[in-house]
Amino acid sequence: MSAMTMDGDFGTKKPVDRNTHSKPGAEVAAEPAKETKMEKTATLPAPVAGTPFGEKLTAFGRAILPPTLGMLILLCLWYVATMKGGSIPGPAQTWEAAKVLFADPFYRNGPNDQGIGWNILSSLQRVGIGFGFAAVVGIPLGFILGRSKFLADMVNPIISLLRPVSPLAWLPIGLLVFKKADPAATYTIFICSIWPMIMNTAQGVQRVPQDYLNVARVLALSEWKVVTKILFPAVLPYILTGIRLSIGTAWLVIVAAEMLTGGVGIGFWVWDEWNNLKVEHIIIAIFVIGIVGLILEQSLILLAKRLTKESS
């Protein structure tokens, strides 16, 4: 089940695979203790061979080397492209600017001039609120749609119609309804996060193995027991996938939404620096947005792994 959740992970694919390899084999799992014991006795008398350490090192190298190399190539390309000067600053210039910028990330000079730390935090706060509301509404809705074919047939065309709409198209409606920029931006996050949550939860509910539902039928479990003991644990991996997909989109959308609404936030900050023509800062912002997005996604993958491991 955890392998299913991990579909589409790039960097972490390998270690995840290894985990699932050792896990599901029921017959194998009965004797891991024996195996490790045997390993110990095998390696102790012959430490000269030393292959385990060497193997570990090469495995580590294999995991670390390609990404590092990729990053270096990116830096080189960037350096070469900006060597002759021009409007885009090179890596060295950007690094200098970043040092100054991150020396004091939490300063406040009025509402339009705040440290990059505040900007990131307020963007994250908007994402958190919009996303939280989307989870509160979307997951139960997904459950309902997954359980009732009639409701699903009723709502699916609406979802299909609205899902491809860019969340930013909803921004004017948000501004109109809320009369303020901040809730309007949060509202666009809500809109863009809710679709993956609904769809994944509903799909998870529909894909609960018939065997489990037959158990529920033979036991004649109450609907509450069916939800807590069978549906929720079975659907959890799908919900987590939905959450992961939507946090990715939410982080994409918040930057654009803030460019339009202004205030404090990483998107607004990018636009502000563009108006000040501080191109180094824009490049720094691009890195920061990328890194924060990466951390968000990876921490959710980690959470998913921990939760599904406990439950399966």
Partner 1 sequence: MEKFVQIEHVGQTFDTKKGKFVALRDIDLTIKKGEFIALIGHSGCGKSTLLNLIAGLTLPTTGVLLLEDREIGGPGPERAVVFQNHSLLPWLTCFENVYLAVERVFGAKEGKAKLKERTAAAINLVGLDHASAKYPHEISGGMKQRVGIARALSMEPKVLLMDEPFGALDALTRAKLQDELMKICEATKATTVMVTHDVDEAVLLSDRIVMMTNGPAATIGEILEVNLPRPRQRLTLAHDPAYIDYRAAVLEFLYEKQAHVEKIAA
User: Rounded CA gap, 256 and 272, in Å?
Assistant: 13
Side-chain-facing half-sphere of 27: CA atoms under 13 Å: 0
Site membership for partner 1, residue 27 (CB under 8 A): yes
- Under rule CB under 8 A, residue 312 binds partner 1: yes
309 is a site residue for partner 1 (CB under 8 A): no
Name the minimum Å distance from CB 33 to partner 1: 12
Q: Which stretch binds partner 1 (CB under 8 A): 45-53, 155-163, 216-224, 260-268?
A: 216-224
Whole-number Å distance between alpha carbons of 216 and 230:
8
Instruction: Give the residue carrying structure tokens 């069978």.
Output: 230
For position 230 contacting partner 1 by CB under 8 A, the verdict is yes
Q: Does 233 bind partner 1 (CB under 8 A)?
A: yes
Q: Does residue 20 touch partner 1 according to CB under 8 A?
A: no
CA-closest candidate to residue 248, choices 283, 299, 199, 285: 299
Which residue stretch of 44-52, 74-82, 116-124, 213-221 sits at the interface with partner 1 (rule: CB under 8 A)? 213-221
- Three-state DSSP class for 250? helix
N-term to C-term CA, the chain? 8
> Residues touching partner 1: how many (CB under 8 A)?
23
Q: Identify which of residues 118 and 212 has a Cβ nearer to partner 1 in the complex.
A: 212
Interface segment toward partner 1; rule CB under 8 A; list 127-135, 143-151, 154-162, 230-238: 230-238
CA nearest neighbour of 120 among 241, 240, 296, 278: 296
The number of beta carbons lying within 10 Å of the beta carbon of residue 196 is: 23
Rounded to whole angstroms, the Cα distance separating 292 from 279 reads 20
255: which 2 tokens?
């930057």
Q: Indicate which single residue of 4, 29, 38, 136 sits in contact with partner 1 (rule: CB under 8 A).
A: 29
DSSP, res 312: -
* 3-state SS, residue 114: strand
Question: Cβ of residue 237: shortest distance to partner 1, in angstroms?
Answer: 11
State which of residues 26, 161, 176, 277 lies at the interface with partner 1 (CB under 8 A): 26
Per CB under 8 A, the list member of 10, 211, 224, 277 interacting with partner 1 is 211
Instruction: Kindly list the residues in this chain that would bind partner 1 in the complex (CB under 8 A).
Output: 1, 23-24, 26-27, 29-30, 211-212, 214-215, 217-221, 225, 229-230, 233-234, 311-312
